[in-house]
Each structure stands twice: as C-alpha cells, then as structure tokens.
Amino acid sequence: MKCPLCGSSSVGKVGVEQYYCWNCFVEYQFQGDETRVYSVEEDGSLMEI
C-alpha cells in the first residue's frame, strides 16, 4: 500500500478502508474508485483536502 499523495509506503490502517501516511501526515480512504484525502487537525478532527 502506498500513499496516494506522496507515494510513501509508510502507511498504517486506521479503520475500514482508512489509512494514515506517516510521511505526509494525512489520512485517506477509498470509496469505490474514489480516494478521499484528509488532513488531521490538532483536535483530531479530519478536514478534506
């Protein structure tokens, strides 16, 4: 598994079809053929990029 944003393989699974990239610090999820990328805010909430 590689990060769709930076291409790093330093990725961990955090939920069903949800992953976190330890290189660029984003969370992303796959929904069918679509990939949604989120920044993790200081309070832990997610903001779609």
Assess contact for 5 and 24: CB atoms under 8 A: yes
The pLDDT, as a whole number, for residue 31 is: 87
Read off the tokens for 26.
């984003």
Residue 1 pLDDT? 84
Distance of CA 44 to the CA centre of its chain: 13
Cα-only R_g, the chain: 10
Could you report the per-residue pLDDT of 1-49, keeping only the tens digit for each? 899 999 999 999 999 889 999 999 999 999 889 999 999 999 989 999 9
